[in-house]
Structure 1
Amino acid sequence: MKGSTHLAIGTVIGIAAAMYHPFSVHNTALYIAVSAFSALSADLDGNSILSSRIGKFSKQIRQLLVWGSLILTSVLTFLFLYDQSFHAEYSIVCLIALLFGFITKEGMIRNALISAIGGLLMYGGWHFNMNWLIGLGLFIAWAPWLKHRGMTHTVWALCIWGMISYSMEQQLQVDGLMAVATTSYLSHLLADTLTPQGVKWLYPLYKRSIKLRL
């Protein structure tokens, strides 16, 4: 199912929570932000709304590595032919950058960038003593390397998300955050269950996709 559909469902859940609980601008913004992000988080294991910008940036990084190393190779070749000077350190850097640019796929660079963001969140959680932020960072760092519609689309991931959001609710002292986050994550799995590909809810214990066709 399209990311925009998941986002719309999550936003509606956040708005409903804001209407149910005592109103405040801060809490309303928090409900909507948490629900929208939770509804999209299961797709961190692939190219999605959350990672599309990073995917474009990873393509630019790969092109920069390839073209930058080719230009540097041309300069080093010119210097060698012109005055017989050989710069070993620059040549090694150039070779590594060229090999990395040709061998590394754009998806791998995207995954590394997302994992780096997760690492920063983990550091922030450790620095500010926020266990839920550490858990969120770990989830974000781990998810991109998984097969699409694999572990992030299971009941186990839903439980992990519930634990992260429970810790967040306890620390931020905002009632209903766990329910909002968990319901939004669940909505993603339910919506994908309605698609032809289905969802492997109990993977890896049960590896067949579960589908509900309307």
Structure 2
Amino acid sequence: MKGSSHAYIGAAVGAIAGFQIDATDPLTITTSAIIGSISALVPDLDTNGTASNRITLSKSFSQWLMRLVGMGLLIAIIFQFFQTGITPNIIIFAGIGALLLVIFRFIKQRRMLTLTGILVMAIGFVMHQSIGILLAGSYIIIASFLAHRSYTHSLIGLAFYAFILHHIHLQWPIDGLFIAGTAGYASHLIADLKLLPVNRRGVKLFAPIWNKEW
């Protein structure tokens, strides 16, 4: 099923969840619809998934950023060297700068999603070590190494995503966040079932315990 179809279904499911929470509040219903739509695309963050190409940093931008940071670190280290001489911190940061300047030449597009996840985790650390953001970053990193329609399309993926939403909700208690987000994610798994005539392939709901496609 196409990503746009998943987004529409997720929006409808999210809106229903928002209606159940507060049928008289258009803001709650609208917010829940948006959350459901976004969550319905999350399972496709795995390798070759449609959503992975949309949130992934572009290769050219990532190369430019790594080159800029690498050069910046090396320049800063040179100035620091003339002030303090060689210290353990100078050696470490010089190594990081040199590594970035080497890596940007060899990194491939499929690893851009991994870098995106690392960036999200870095944001989580900056935001007072936000558990929800850190978990979201870890989800993206893990998904970047998974085959399409594998664990992100299973009940384990659904449980992990619900766990992420729970922690995000603890920090930002948005009405409908947990229910609409979980329902939106679940709608993707249901819409990809082989039981539906539009799908040639199904999903391994019970992986890794049972790898049968449903």
TM-score, normalized by length of structure 2?
A: 0.67
Note the 1:163-182 alignment, pairs <5 A.
163-182=163-182
20-29 or 146-155, larger mean C-alpha shift: 20-29
Counterpart CA distance in 1 for 2:57 and 2:42 is: 19
Higher RCO (C-alpha 8 Å, min separation 6)? 2
Note the 1:99-178 alignment, pairs <5 A.
101=105, 104-108=107-111, 110-125=112-127, 127=128, 130-178=130-178
Counterpart CA distance in 2 for 1:62 and 1:3 is: 25
Name the CA shift for 1:57/1:168 in 2 (closer, same or farther; >3 Å).
closer
> Could you tell me how far 1:134 is from its partner in structure 2?
2.4
Match of 2:206 in 1: 202
> Could you tell me how far 1:138 is from its partner in structure 2?
1.8
> Could you tell me how far 1:154 is from its partner in structure 2?
0.9
Counterpart CA distance in 2 for 1:185 and 1:163 is: 12
> Could you tell me how far 1:45 is from its partner in structure 2?
0.5
Structure 1: gaps of 5 or more residues: 65-92
Q: How many residues align?
A: 175
> Could you tell me how far 1:107 is from its partner in structure 2?
1.3
Match of 1:51 in 2: 52
Counterpart CA distance in 1 for 2:175 and 2:40 is: 19
Name the CA shift for 1:24/1:137 in 2 (closer, same or farther; >3 Å).
farther
Counterpart CA distance in 2 for 1:26 and 1:121 is: 28
Match of 1:189 in 2: 189
Q: Secondary structure at the match of 1:193?
A: coil
Name the CA shift for 1:206/1:4 in 2 (closer, same or farther; >3 Å).
same
Q: Secondary structure at the match of 1:204?
A: coil
Identity of aligned residues (%): 28
> Could you tell me how far 1:9 is from its partner in structure 2?
0.8
Contact 2:13–2:187 (CA under 8 A) maintained in structure 1:
no
Aligned alpha-carbon RMSD (Å)? 3.1
TM-score, normalized by length of structure 1?
A: 0.67
> Could you tell me how far 1:122 is from its partner in structure 2?
2.8
Counterpart CA distance in 1 for 2:133 and 2:211 is: 31
User: Which has more radius of gyration?
Assistant: 1
Counterpart CA distance in 1 for 2:153 and 2:26 is: 32
Contact 1:45–1:149 (CA under 8 A) maintained in structure 2:
yes
